[in-house]
A and B are shown apart, each in its own frame.
Chain A
Amino acid sequence: MNLSQRHLGLILIAPGLMLVAALFLYPLGFSLVSAFSKDGSFTLEWFSKAFELYSTDIVFTVVIVVASCALTALAAIIIAGTLTLGENRYIVGTLRALYRWPLFIPFIVAAQCMRTFLAKNGLMNNTFVSMGLIEPLQAVSFLDWRGIIATFVWKQTPFVALLLAGALASIDRATLEAGRNLGASRVRVLFELALPQVMPTLMVALVLSFVTMLSVLSVPMMVSGSQPTMLTVDMAFRINAYGDYATANALGVITYLISAGAAILYLKRGLSEGAAR
């Protein structure tokens, strides 16, 4: 062996790292340069243009993503909580068999499903009318911001619930049983005993979902065609309609900042918890 382990390791890992550098780090640098410069000198012109044209969409994007994450968290907690603390094994079994279905379904397929399901004459409204819950004339299309949120929650809940249920299954059952024996309701045991122990897992899953939702182009394009829309659609529009890379990249930097905001909130929480211990 004339090659040290360290060198061999670096040689083996180098090709993969080079691909990431070429197709991620370099374009990332490219987008930053393009967003902050004009004819080689520094400028904030593209950002003021981006804010002028798309400030509504920036707010819209943040609201959609935050609302989707909150609803996803709620649905995932209910599902994972039922799986962990549920006492009727038929209900738990049915739920376990059901909830994972959308896990690997691509966003674009989810978008097409929702386009048909949530339309004015989609299966959802038709079912409600048949059941007598609403009058035919009351049926409205949900293919706007509500449709985007519904699609995101539908698609991301299984992922968050899967991670959460895994984490809940590995915590100490004795504490939960003790809580139940002392007369705490299952809801209270879930929120006061079980959830605090798996908060890191929930937060990781939510931050990942947050970034994923910020990256998805197909759902806002297909589910809600009209204005206002999400920043991903605006970026694609700037490129395809005007070839305007500078403003598109300024919008891109804004999406980085939004996701960095989520990551910082998460890290700050982790730090303060670490300090508290």
Chain B
Amino acid sequence: MTRIASSARLVLAVSLLAAFAFVLLGPILNLALWSVAERWYTPHKLPVTYGTRYWEQVFRPTGDAMASLGTSVWIAVLTVVFALALSIPAGYALARLKLPMRALFMLMFLLPQAFPSVAIYINVARIFYQLGINGTVFAVVLVHTTHGLVFSVWIAAAAFAAVDKDLELAARNMGASPMRAFLTVTLPLAAPGILASGIFVFLESLDEFTGTFFVGVPQVTTLPLLLYNAAMGGNYQVASITALILLVPSVLFMLFIERFLRADVLAKVGA
């Protein structure tokens, strides 16, 4: 009797797991199908003809997608450079130096993520418009940097806090200047955590839609904006291919994040 009950439970568990897998992966599978569907209309349950015509169209060197991919990557690289230039000193100060109102400063970096952002972005766009920088790559980079700063500052602070203080003191005792001790001891030891924060900021920038939608239009077309335009224009194939391009780095990051962010650093994030 218990055997029957336990095998019934197993069957139930396996079918629930299968349903879960369908709900989780079905949408991604549907996207992948659309990217290789040259013709797909009702009542056909699967594409009528498969092909790579749209992939060729998207990856043509002169195509919109390649230009958007270039813009997206360029903006993301600049955003990482800006964010790290701001967050390495800030993270070091938060981790190592005596700061008044430290908790308040930590909170300040979180605020842009903790507020509904559309209302902020419409006003940023208005301010940028008055300054005459709306629709420039620079404006988009500024918005992405502000948005990503909480990750880069908090993770950099955690990475610096995880570096053993005695190693720095040893370098100082052997006559290294504070700057030299920082550059040759502290920074290299914190580098993996900072690299992880850089990857995080890069992805956030690559995926960002709302800020770019208000600040970047009409001149700056990143991949998410191209995806939006294609989807709203009814071109499911181009939209799906663009979505797949954006999907790859996200999934890779999900699979490898634990390699980049060590547990001792992760435990100190936000502390």
Contacts and interface: CB of A to CB of B under 8 A. Distances in A.
Contacts of B159: none
B127 interface: yes
Contacts of B112: 20, 23-24
Interface string B229-241: 0011000100110
Contacts of B30: 113, 116-117, 122-123
B45 A129 contact: yes
Interface string B123-159: 1111100000000000000110110010001000000
A109 B120 contact: no
Contacts of B89: 12-13, 15-16
B236 A116 contact: yes
Contact of A113 (B28, B86, B113): B28
B25 A252 contact: no
B170 interface: no
A107 B117 CA distance: 14
A109 B243 contact: yes
A9 B27 contact: no
Contact of A218 (B23, B25, B109, B228): B228
A111 B232 CA distance: 12
Interface in A149-183: 154
B118 interface: yes
A12 B93 contact: yes
A104 B127 contact: no
B116 to A, nearest CB: 4
Interface in B32-57: 33-34, 42-43, 45-46
Contact of B108 (A17, A121, A126): A17
Interface stretch (B59-67, B98-106, B161-169, B184-192): B98-106
Interface string B8-35: 0010011001001111111111110110
A199 B241 CA distance: 40
A107 B212 CA distance: 14
A27 B86 CA distance: 20
A23 B239 CA distance: 31
Nearest to B86: A16
A239 interface: yes
A28 B120 contact: yes
Given A106-B224, A252-B116, A252-B119, A154 B23 contact: yes
A58 B205 CA distance: 29
Nearest to B40: A121
A94 B10 CA distance: 14
Contacts of B100: 6, 10
Contacts of A116: 27, 30-31, 33-34, 236, 240
The number of chain B residues touching the other chain, given as a range, is: 35 or more
A150 to B, nearest CB: 9
A15 B114 CA distance: 20
B250 A215 contact: no
A97 B16 CA distance: 15
Contacts of A249: 119, 122-123
Given A5-B97, A6-B100, A94-B17, A211 B250 contact: no
A271 interface: no
A130 B26 CA distance: 15
Contacts of B120: 24, 27-28, 31, 252
Given A13-B99, A235-B122, A249-B123, 4 more contacts: A6-B100, A113-B28, A211-B114, A236-B213
Interface stretch (A36-44, A189-197, A253-261): A253-261
Nearest to A230: B118
Contact of B250 (A6, A12, A109, A126): A109
Give the one of A108, A214, A218, A235 with max B CB within 10 A: A108
Nearest to B37: A116
Contacts of B126: 30, 245
A124 B43 CA distance: 14
Given A16-B86, A34-B123, A211 B115 contact: yes
B261 interface: no
15 contacts: A13-B93, A16-B149, A23-B112, A24-B112, A25-B111, A103-B250, A106-B207, A107-B207, A108-B207, A117-B26, A126-B46, A215-B116, A218-B209, A235-B118, A249-B122
Nearest to A106: B207
Interface in B66-116: 85-87, 89-90, 92-94, 97-100, 105, 108-109, 111-116
Contacts of B28: 101, 113
B148 to A, nearest CB: 11
A16 B87 contact: yes
Given A20-B146, A30-B126, A95-B17, A101 B251 contact: yes
B203 interface: yes
A71 interface: no
